[in-house]
Amino acid sequence: TDKALDRDCTTLSRHVLQQLQSFSGEAQDLSALMNRIALAGKLVARRMSNAGLMEGVLGFTGEVNVQGESVKKLDVYANDVFISVFKQSGLVCRLASEEMENPYYIRENCPIGRYTLLYDPIDGSSNTDTNLSLGSIFSIRQQEGNDSDGKATDLLTNGHKQIAAGYILYGPSTMLIYTIGKGVHSFTLDPSLGEFILTEENIKIPDHGSVYSVNEGNFWQWDESIREYIRYVHSTEGYTARYSGAMVSDIHRILVQGGVFLYPGTLQKPEGKLRLLYESAPLAFVIEQAGGRATTGLVDILDVVPKKLHQRTPLIIGSKQDVAKVESFIQNGHEPK
């Protein structure tokens, strides 16, 4: 049959089943979960594409627009989208996100739904008003125990407990990148079909790349070892700086071209700015599955055990060699290897 047609028929839910080479209960669940993530991505992408047109959507909250809809800030809207798509799915009992202090329980799903979604509905929301790329980040875990105290303490475990993770990149095209621990695969939304179509399977991050991605405006707040690394890349041929304000887009560039993204601890945020459970850990799962690395500078991100749901960690993520270079400055004081 026609290769292009076969590809157009490799939808995300089909691909998950192919990955697992199984139609077991869990395989079906994962396929259904990924399908719901895709639906959320489509709904958010649609909202973004006409955000500039609907009066007051950009960066506003509480406004009522011309359609009489209560207009929500995009990240509040996106947060609700993920809740809604999983409400009907029956699979997910709990959702934890940057937008909610405590996990949201879908009570009707709880006795049966054994999955928890951890997500950052809109990453890089400062880019909303400037029509630049944005992302959603997701991580799926299985609930352990019955969470009787409703504090979801079973979520406070390391990143190896993730069963699926990935991100949606709302760029010139909308892409969904995911892993279920069997490689990293990318899909592109075909708006004419309303489907995410397989773009690339088993993506491998280059072992080295020229890009370093960091907010140099924080230079005055960094440890001396990070400053030493930055002085090194400033004085060494072959490095180029790229930083967009949305780490999904910066890290996607690094997945494709190689390089390293850093958000180190600062004076104001010694633990860094990025949240472990629904930002760093899912991205670390993806990048490690693609053959890269993710570390706090001292500990692999996937080994960090959080003490609280919204715990932040420093993040150094990307190509093996480039991450190791940053670590060499951090771990050997100021003397690079």
Contact 248, 274 (CB under 8 A): no
User: Residue 272, interface with ligand P6P (CB under 6 A)?
Assistant: no
**How many residues touch ligand P6P (CB under 6 A)?**
9
Per CB under 6 A, the segment of 13-21, 172-180, 226-234, 243-251 that binds ligand P6P is 243-251
Flag whether 243 is marked binding.
Answer: yes
The H or E element containing residue 166 is strand 162-170
Cβ closer to ligand P6P: 127 or 186? 127
**Coil, helix or strand at residue 32:** helix
* CB 127 to ligand P6P: min, Å: 8
Query: Which residues, at least 6 apart from 173, have a Cβ–Cβ distance to it below 8 Å?
Result: 188, 189
Flag whether 195 is marked binding.
Answer: no
Phi-psi domain of 140 (left: phi exceeds 0; alpha: psi -120 through 50; beta: other): beta
Contact 226, 330 (CB under 8 A): yes
Contact 262, 323 (CB under 8 A): no
Flag whether 126 is marked binding.
Answer: yes
Cβ closer to ligand P6P: 182 or 269? 269
Cβ closer to ligand P6P: 106 or 246? 246
User: Residue 124, interface with ligand P6P (CB under 6 A)?
Assistant: yes
Flag whether 133 is marked binding.
Answer: no
Flag whether 229 is marked binding.
Answer: no
* CB 11 to ligand P6P: min, Å: 28
Flag whether 215 is marked binding.
Answer: yes
> Which one of 29, 99, 123, 147 is in contact with ligand P6P (CB under 6 A)?
123
In angstroms, the CA 62 to CA 286 distance is 36
Amino acid (one-letter) located at 157: T
In angstroms, the CA 329 to CA 232 distance is 10
User: Residue 121, interface with ligand P6P (CB under 6 A)?
Assistant: no
Q: Which of residues 28-87 bind ligand P6P (CB under 6 A)?
A: none
In angstroms, the CA 158 to CA 144 distance is 13
Neighbours of 23 (CB within 10 A): 9
* CB 154 to ligand P6P: min, Å: 25
Q: Are strands 211-213 and 195-200 parallel, antiparallel or unpaired?
A: unpaired
User: Residue 311, interface with ligand P6P (CB under 6 A)?
Assistant: no
Flag whether 273 is marked binding.
Answer: yes
> Which one of 245, 300, 310, 328 is in contact with ligand P6P (CB under 6 A)?
245
Distance of CA 221 to the CA centre of its chain: 26
Flag whether 68 is marked binding.
Answer: no
The arrangement of strands across the sheet holding 195-200 comes to 104-105, 92-97, 115-123, 134-142, 162-170, 174-179, 185-190, 195-200
> Which one of 215, 221, 321, 328 is in contact with ligand P6P (CB under 6 A)?
215
Integer angstrom CA distances of residue 270 from 177, 230, 267, 304, 323? 30, 18, 6, 16, 20
* CB 281 to ligand P6P: min, Å: 14
User: Residue 273, interface with ligand P6P (CB under 6 A)?
Assistant: yes
User: Residue 246, interface with ligand P6P (CB under 6 A)?
Assistant: yes
Binding residues for Mg(2+): 98, 120, 122-123, 279
Q: Which residues bind ligand P6P (CB under 6 A)?
A: 123-124, 126, 215, 245-247, 273-274
Binding residues for substrate: 123-126, 215, 243, 273
Binding residues: 98, 120, 122-126, 215, 243, 273, 279
